[in-house]
Amino acid sequence: ETILAPRDTVDEEATAELKQQARDSVSPIYLLDSTILEQAKNENRNFFEGLKRAKSTANSYALSMGFITVENYENVLTQEQVKNILESLSVPIEAPLLYPALLLSDAGLDEAMQATESLLVAAMEKGLKEEDVTASLAAAIQAVQGDNTLGETQRNLAAAALTQCVRTNMTLDQAATNAAIQAAEDAVSPVEYKKGQAIAREGDVLTERQILVLTGLGMMEGSINIGPYLSILFALLLCA
């Protein structure tokens, strides 16, 4: 015989599974902080403006030592002078990059700055999550290194600026996320057996879920592990 529900009952386990699926289906909700991109753009500009000032400083050092024109600052500046210039920059670079950077024109620095800013906007304008920063930075650096309109020094300066400035500008809105999770869970309708609805049919092997339903209805007694004997038990119930 088929076992029928003697009254309406809820399949608690099935309902719980659906609620969990509903919770898991909700994506985190993030807020975009547009001020962070502006901060990054300002840092980028400050870096390249700082390089212009560094050029003037390096030129003053050279003049004080009797150099009218300089083709390679590596042979002119002292280690202390190089250290002072590097410490004045808002983006960390090494001396091997500083020397050729000091020989760039202001227009050349502006070109590198503008290229960097364009890539910053592309990476961050629509929002950048923490877990996506590394990939986005790598893509931006790859793009600038492949820009043939820039010289090698310009590309390396832009890569340094990108490394400093690309960052997450999205924060998790935990309250909104929790509300969305709760709404998804609340939208789940309980899984029910209506009175007279079949819970198990002749020939079925009772599942753990069916056992829980039957136990909740008072149609099975005890809580022993009867898993190995489910087929026999059901057959006996049907023959009773």
Bridge partners of 4, per DSSP, are 198
167 φ, ψ (degrees, to nearest 5): -160, 170
Residue-wise pLDDT for 40-67, tens only, equals 999 999 999 999 999 999 999 999 888 8
- For residues 189 and 11, is the Cβ–Cβ distance under 8 A? no
pLDDT exceeding 90 applies to what percent of the chain? 62
Average pLDDT of the segment spanning 133-144: 97
The answer, yes or no, to whether residue 223 has pLDDT greater than 60, is no
User: Crossing angle for the helix pair 106-124 and 34-64, nearest 10 degrees?
Assistant: 160
Pairing of strands 170-172, 30-32: antiparallel
Task: Report the pLDDT value the prediction gives residue 139, as an integer from 0 to 100.
Answer: 97
Handedness of CA 210, 215, 221, 223 (dihedral sign): positive
Integer angstrom CA distances of residue 85 from 44, 74, 98: 17, 13, 9
Does 230 have pLDDT greater than 90? no
Q: What pLDDT, on the 0 to 100 scale, is given for residue 32? A: 93
227 vs 204, residue with greater confidence = 204
Structure token digits, residue 167: 């960052």
- Interval 182-204: pLDDT, tens: 999 999 988 888 888 887 787 77
